[in-house]
Structure formats: structure tokens, C-alpha cells
Amino acid sequence: MTIASDKNPLSFFTICWLFLVLGCTCFGGMWAAMDRLQRELVERRQLISLEDQRSLMLAAAMIPAPKFLAFAVMVGYRIGGIWGAVGSSISILLPGTALVLVACVLTVVASENIALKTIQHYVGLGVVGLLAGNAVRMFIGDGLRIRPALFGLVISLGIPLYVIVAEGPLIIAACVGLAIGSLMIREDVSGGTTGVE
């Protein structure tokens, strides 16, 4: 039996306000906001017990849905029935959704700004540089081995040539690269264990 079942359920607007505030103040997902949720739902408002919070968090982690949303819906249902679940789900999503919409609008409005275009260009170059540097580091590894280096060179040149020059489907190039890469890795690890973490 939960603490909330001993009391009258909260009003729809109270549930909406509670989860709107939680949506505005809890960042990093359900597990990161665990202490804040415990302070608000268990200690301050005494809507659910600590055991209920833990069991609902575990159940939310097993449901194939965003964990924070699943937790909010289950708590909303627990304290306000079906309308509590509806109100909590809408309210917990509203702050993040509003931020994403504002960012989308600002990005579209500012997309013609020369400063933003310049920043996007150099960030893109930086990302490509990071990916290329990581690829080189992976190919060289503990020392330059000719076979993985040749494989990396063939894949690095072969996929763009196949997709751009031969106008082949990217999905086929990616699948072939993955298959060949997995065979290469399998041959490398068959001799013993690797230091992959």
C-alpha cells in the first residue's frame, strides 16, 4: 500500500504543476534526478514511499520508453489515476519540448547569419578531424600493422568512390564495410584476448 492511497488523490492541476516544476529542474534523466525526485515526492510531499520510488524507477527502466517519462506516468497514475498519468506525462515533457522548439526556430531564423555559418563550418571540420584522428589511432594502435592499415585505406577510399563515383547505395557500402571489418577483427582476436574495454 502506498502513502498516496491513504489520502485523497491530488487535483489534476496540482499534478501538472508538480511535474512541470520537476521537468524544469531535473536534468540528466531519471537516475541523475533521483535525489531531487526523492526530496520532492517522498520527503516533502509524501506522495509515495521510498520503496515505491525505487520500484517505480526500476519498472520505468524496463519499459521500452524514455525512463523519466515512464516514471512520471507511473507516479502520476499512482497519485491521480488516469488523468494524473496524462497530466504528469504532458507536464514532464513540456519544458524540454519547449526548449527544443525554441532552438529549432532560432536555428532556422539564424541559419543565414554569416557568423553561425562560419561556426557550423569549423565545428564540422573539427568533427571530421576528430573522426579522422581516431581512425588513424585505431589503425596504428600499438604499432603499424600493414593488414589493418591497408583495410582502413581501402574502406576509407572505397566507400566514397562506390557511393559518389559509382552512385551505389550507401547502405550496401556500409554493410560490406561492417562485414569485412568484423571478419578482420575476428581474425585479430582469435590468437588471444584483446585490451578492448
> For the chain, which residues make up each domain, given as ranges?
4-110, 114-189
pLDDT in tens, 160-196: 777 777 777 767 776 776 676 666 655 554 454 444 4
Residue 122 has what pLDDT?
Answer: 78
Task: Measure the CA–CA gap between 116 and 111, rounded to whole angstroms.
Answer: 7
Calculate mean pLDDT across residues 33-53: 89
Do residues 76 and 47 lie in contact, with contact meaning Cβ atoms separated by under 8 Å? Answer: no
Contact 76, 17 (CB under 8 A): no
| pLDDT computed for residue 46 by the predictor | 92
* Distance in angstroms (rounded) separating the CA atoms of residues 74 and 155: 48
Q: How far apart are CA 14 and CA 76, in angstroms?
A: 11
Write out pLDDT tens, residues 137-167: 655 655 666 666 676 677 667 767 777 777 7
Give the pLDDT score at 1: 41
pLDDT on residue 78: 93
pLDDT at residue 90 is higher than 90: yes
Indicate whether 86 pLDDT > 90: yes
- Model confidence at 8: pLDDT above 70: no
C-alpha separations of 46 from 26, 38, 95, 161 in Å: 19, 9, 24, 63
Per-residue pLDDT tens digits for 94-132: 999 999 898 888 878 777 788 877 877 777 777 666 666
pLDDT of residue 5: 47
**pTM (2 d.p.):** 0.54
